[in-house]
Amino acid sequence: MAGVVGGDARARVGVIGGSGFYQMPGLEDRREVEIDTPFGAPSDHLVVGVLDGVEVAFLPRHGRGHRISPTALNVRANIWALKSLGVEWVLAVSAVGSMRERIPPLDVVIPDQLIDRTRVRPSTFFDEPGLVVHVGMAEPLCPHVRSVLADAVGGAGGNVHHGGAYVCIEGPQFSTRAESELYRSWGVDVIGMTALPEARLAREAELCYGVMAMVTDYDVWHESEEPVTAAMVVQNLMANAELALRAVRTAIPEAVRQPRDCECGSALAAGIITAPEAIDPRVRQRVALLVERYL
């Protein structure tokens, strides 16, 4: 189970800040919370506070100062930490490249589908023998959170695309041109490095999770544009930082008004396959935060 320094800390909405989104201004009664999880330490201390009457937990995905690469992220610890604080809705911000002419840099995409091209990242909390769990991922991103994020970006003045396929690559290198063209042939709309396994783990933790994908470049398929570089990504992220912050602040109070009648909040109800009497007690204790209400 999670150990929390400041054990009375609670939050309803979690915000995961991506590249260029390292702070959450405007939180009242803010404090830092250190959480130890069965899967190790999260990317950083969580900042917990109140925004427009809603308890919020903010986590910079890559750590303050952007210290952790996508491949090295301890995503299980990040999602577990949010779950242990009582979070039910997660608003994630992610930098992406566009795979479509109609989605230029500085636009925002709220994807509804994911393609997993990661290779070495742990993608489940249930990785030990003794407890088998299968959750549905047909709709990998919460429809309520997607709708809230799309409305918030539009209200904040952004050019938003509601829906689209996000391919998540391992990184930390950018794609080759051949890879980029392959993904385009699959019907992919944006490419990034962080939405997975976040979305898979959020579903196992029964969290309503959505991604605000901030477009920074055209990846490398667009031969009339300069190939993507880290400097280009950072420059466009900074240009869009205020939009991201305004949209997230608008989305937070709207998220908690949504009904949790989607599949996210009960993903494990039909997902636990192992008979209760056959579950390894040590494994059960390790993931009790997730499964105990069903056992």
- Residues noted as catalytic: 217, 219
Assign residue 29 a region: left if phi > 0, alpha if psi is -120 to 50, beta otherwise? Answer: left
What are 135's two structure tokens? 């959750």
Assign residue 158 a region: left if phi > 0, alpha if psi is -120 to 50, beta otherwise? Answer: beta
Alpha-helix residue ranges (DSSP H) falling in 192-280: 195-204, 230-255
Q: Does residue 216 sit in helix, strand or coil? A: strand
Count Cα atoms within 13 angstroms, Cβ side, for 138: 4
What are 221's two structure tokens? 């398929």
Distances in whole angstroms, Cα of residue 170 to Cα of each of 18, 25, 26, 116: 16, 31, 33, 9
CB 34 within 8 A of CB 45: yes
CA angle 115, 261, 2 (to 5 degrees): 70
Give, for 17, the enclosing helix (H) or strand (E): strand 13-17
Distance (Å, whole) CA 84 – CA 10:
8
Nearest to 193 by CA among 208, 213, 177: 213
Q: Does residue 198 sit in helix, strand or coil? A: helix
**Cα torsion angle, 196, 49, 55, 51, sign:** negative
Question: For the chain, first and last CA: distance in Å?
Answer: 16
Distance (Å, whole) CA 208 – CA 149:
12
